[in-house]
Structure formats: C-alpha cells, structure tokens
C-alpha cells in the first residue's frame, strides 16, 4: 500500500498527442486505483494562491456578529457562513467553520410543479465588513474553472473518449462551488471529526491546504494515509459524478479531516467542479478493455447515488445542513421521508 499520494503534472498531460500517452495512462491508472493525487504545474499565479489564503484568514478573523450577517440560514441556496458543529456528516457534527460560495446567478422564480433543486440557483451572501472577499474569490473561481476543465478533458482523453465528452454535462450553467474552511484546534478529549468520512459528489475537487496536516484518504478498506500539505500543489480527487459516468472505472474515494491539536487551526480552500443542475449523468461507453476493468460505482445504502444531478446535489445539502433544510425545504423533506 502506498504511503503517500501520487504526483501528477498538468503540463505533461497537455503535451502534443504523440508525447502524452504515457502521462494520460498514469492519470487514468491513478484515478482508478487511488482516486486522489497532487496536481503540480497547474499554471495558477502563486500570488493568487496567497491572496485567496490571506482573504480566507481575514474572513474567519471577522467578529462573530459580522459572520452571522451572512449565515447560511439566510440563504435558500445553501450559500454563506456556518459555525463549527452546524454541518453533519454521517449523522455526526463536523468541527469546522466554513463559508460557501456558488456560481453568482439570479434566483429562479419557481412554478408549483418545478423540482425543488431549482431553488439551489441564486446569489451569494457577501460580508460588507470585508468587501475585498468578493473580487478575490471571483478571480479564484475563474482560474480554478480553467484548470478544472483542462484536467477534465485530460481525463476524457485518458479514457479514449473525445476531449469534450463531459462538456455537455458541464453545460453553460455549471454548479461550481467554493468552500472556505477553518478547522479549530480540539482538545484530545473532544471530537476529532473535522469533517467525517465521505465522498464528493461532483466532477472533481481541488483543495488548497495550508501547512497544517489533517486530510486523510482511505486507499483501502479501513486503511488511511495522510495527504500532507505540498507547497504550490493542489490535492485533487474524483467525485461521484465521474464514478457513475464511467461505471466505477474512475474512483470516488472516501476521505476525512482530523481536527488539529488544541491552540492550532487548519485553513483550506476547496473548489468543486460540478455539472449543470438539470443534467442527467449518462453511462459513457469505454473501450472494451477499459470497460472490463470498471468495478461499478459504490454507493452508501443510506445515501444512494442518483443520476439526476440536481436531485443528487440537493439530497446532500439537505442531509448536511439541517437548519436550512427545515427552513426552506420542509415540503421536500416530507416527500423524501415518505
């Protein structure tokens, strides 16, 4: 069993066709066997990385009353701030405070027969006390979207699919998502669940870490390795959307975060590349040799995968953010339970 994550070089994945076959094969095998890796030579300006980390620290340093002005409870679109202990993973409270930002779009006017997931589209909440946050995060979203699409197209090529095979799922209104996260230090006797064991639901997740360890990856049943911080690199993992689209050839891997020790903290910034909410995930036809190696998607019986992107995403939000769910989606909760 490997003791560390593989390192993949985005520049090598974009060499001329005659030179990139070896690196595309490495990408494909890594995604199938581990589902997690470090991405280097991604091309994002190092100053932008510093800026987004700095503004994230500045946000969490705001007085609590300022953060509460942009609390997620004010957003039917699941945008905004949550204190530590508000979000749940596998029925346990996550010991992290966070700020969620999605694609900046106007809210839709729903008709009585519209699906509840249409309510997910809408504007973000932005703290008036930190006006610099919005432009920095917007620049970060744009830069990350470019990198994510480049990598997504490399995945398509590695599977012998057309480079634009996944573009229709991504669409013109993708469900891009940024999460600013702070894990406060915990005493040894307290819960160490920074965030509980889970898979991500979208295409790809990119994580920018500070220098505090805590992220762990389940590379085999009950066998965890540390994804230690690597300067200038992103930790990338496969989401469930790609797992079900490839019949489990690409692996969405379970991971978790262990809280830092008391009097310390961990800051990370996650970017999730998602599909368009009205999309339905098809089963892509892989070449026979690759199709034979696909293991089928794995699903938590208590949280089954759905091919309907909007419903799959909303299901996860309802489970994780119970206060927002009760306030804005009470009718949906009743229908789900029945």
User: pLDDT digits over 119-158, tens only?
Assistant: 999 999 999 999 999 999 999 999 999 999 999 999 999 9
Angle at 319 between CA 83 and CA 249, to 5 degrees: 115
d(CA 276, CA 310): 8
Per-residue pLDDT, 329: 95
For the chain, what percent of residues have pLDDT higher than 90? Answer: 83
Kindly indicate the confidence band of residue 331, based on its pLDDT and cuts at 50, 70 and 90.
confident
How confident is the model at residue 301, as a pLDDT? 56
- Bigger pLDDT: 10 vs 306: 10
Query: What ranges make up the beta strands (E) of the chain?
Result: 7-9, 36-40, 80-82, 88-89, 92-93, 97-102, 177-184, 193-198, 204-209, 215-220, 223-226, 234-238, 255-258, 265-273
Averaged confidence pLDDT in the chain: 93
Asked if residue 307 is part of any domain, the answer here is: yes
1: confidence class by pLDDT, cuts 50, 70, 90: low
Determine, yes or no, domain membership for 1.
Answer: no
Longest CA pairwise span in the chain (Å): 58
pLDDT value, residue 299: 62
Convert the pLDDT of each residue in 183-236 to its tens digit: 999 999 999 999 999 999 888 999 999 999 999 999 999 999 999 999 999 999
| Domain-located, residue 200 | yes
Answer whether residue 128 is part of any domain: yes
Residues 289-323: tens digit of each pLDDT: 999 999 888 765 555 667 899 998 898 899 899 99
Query: Looking at residue 338, what is its pLDDT?
Result: 37
Q: Where are the beta strands (DSSP E) in 32-117?
A: 36-40, 80-82, 88-89, 92-93, 97-102
CATH number of the structural domain spanning residue 158: 2.60.120.330
Q: What is the pLDDT of residue 247?
A: 94
Into how many domains does the chain fold?
1
Confidence of residue 3 (pLDDT cuts 50, 70, 90): confident
How far apart CA 166 and CA 281 sit, in angstroms, is 10
Within a domain: 185: yes
Q: Is 142 helix (H, G, I), strand (E, B) or coil?
A: helix
Residue 178 lies in a domain: yes
Q: 336 φ, ψ to 5°? A: -65, -45
**Cβ burial 136-160 (10 Å sphere, 16+ → b, else e):** bbeebbebbbebbbebbbbbbbbbe
Domain that holds residue 40: 7-337
The model's pTM is 0.94
Q: Is residue 2 part of a domain?
A: no
How many whole angstroms separate alpha carbon 15 and alpha carbon 9? 11
Q: Which of 23-32, 96-105, 226-235, 300-309 has the lowest mean pLDDT?
A: 300-309
Angle (CA) 266 272 276, round 5°:
160
Residue whose tokens read 């204190």: 83
Rounded distance between C-alpha atoms, residue 77 and residue 80, angstroms: 9
Query: Is residue 299 included in any domain, yes or no?
Result: yes
Residue the block writes with tokens 């905004």: 80
Higher pLDDT: 165 or 338? It is: 165
């Amino acid at each position: 069993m490997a003791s560390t994550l593989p390192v993949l070089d985005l520049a090598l994945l974009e060499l001329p066709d005659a030179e990139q076959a070896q690196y595309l094969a490495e990408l494909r095998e890594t995604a199938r066997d581990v589902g997690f890796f470090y991405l280097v030579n991604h091309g994002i300006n190092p100053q932008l990385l510093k800026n987004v980390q700095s503004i994230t620290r500045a946000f969490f340093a705001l007085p609590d009353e300022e953060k509460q002005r942009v609390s997620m409870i004010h957003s039917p679109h699941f945008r905004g701030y949550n204190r530590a202990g508000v979000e749940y993973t596998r029925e346990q409270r996550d010991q992290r405070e966070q700020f969620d930002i999605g694609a900046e779009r106007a809210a839709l006017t729903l008709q009585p027969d519209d699906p509840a997931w249409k309510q997910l589209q809408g504007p973000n909440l932005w703290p008036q006390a930190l006006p610099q946050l919005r432009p920095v995060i917007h620049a970060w979203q744009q830069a990350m979207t470019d990198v994510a699409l480049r990598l997504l197209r490399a995945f398509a090529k590695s599977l012998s699919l057309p480079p634009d095979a996944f573009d229709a799922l991504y669409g013109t209104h993708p469900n891009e998502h940024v999460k600013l996260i702070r894990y406060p230090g915990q005493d040894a006797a307290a819960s160490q669940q920074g965030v509980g064991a889970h898979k991500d639901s979208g295409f790809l997740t990119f994580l920018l870490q500070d220098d505090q360890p805590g992220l762990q990856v389940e590379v085999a049943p009950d066998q965890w390795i540390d994804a230690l911080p690597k300067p200038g690199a992103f930790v990338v993992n496969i989401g469930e959307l790609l797992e079900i689209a490839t019949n489990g050839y690409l692996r969405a891997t379970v991971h978790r975060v262990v809280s830092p020790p008391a009097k310390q903290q961990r800051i990370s910034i996650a970017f999730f590349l998602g599909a368009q909410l009205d999309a339905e995930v098809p089963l892509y036809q892989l070449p026979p040799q690759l199709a034979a190696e696909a293991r089928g998607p794995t699903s938590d019986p208590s949280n089954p995968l759905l091919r309907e992107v909007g419903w799959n995403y909303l299901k996860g939000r309802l489970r994780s953010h119970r206060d927002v769910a009760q306030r804005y989606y009470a009718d949906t909760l009743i229908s789900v339970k029945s």
